[in-house]
Structure 1
């Protein structure tokens, strides 16, 4: 649940253009921390968010590779 809360705010802020070339803008971390705390009543830090983003990136890379394989698609 808390990662869903985190993802929802990150997607929203990304769609608003609040991500930078090399990561998130500082206010994004504050918004994400606030959203997860309010939604899930869980303490979270910028370090927690950065760590989870690295995991999301790894999952994205794996899924992208799988979907790019010949014969594996949504056609």
Structure 2
């Protein structure tokens, strides 16, 4: 209903504002481009599960080792 939609919009907006503020703080403190660091952290946090999923596909035979190696070479 409308309550869920309002809660979702407010939560997502507040979270985005917090991340923008955090990125600005990182940049101001001279640790690099703050938003880029936060984006990289999000991508890096997902890598272990992606690699685990890839290995599971190879283990079960749903994907050949050649295709998996090609994906690793393409991404890495």
- Do they fold alike, i.e. is TM over 0.5? no
TM-score range, shorter chain: 0.3 to 0.5
> Whose helix fraction is larger, Structure 1's or Structure 2's?
2
TM-score (norm 1): 0.33
The structure showing larger relative contact order (alpha-carbon pairs under 8 Å, at least 6 residues apart) is 1
TM-score (norm 2): 0.33
> Whose strand fraction is larger, Structure 1's or Structure 2's?
1
The structure whose Rg is larger is: 2
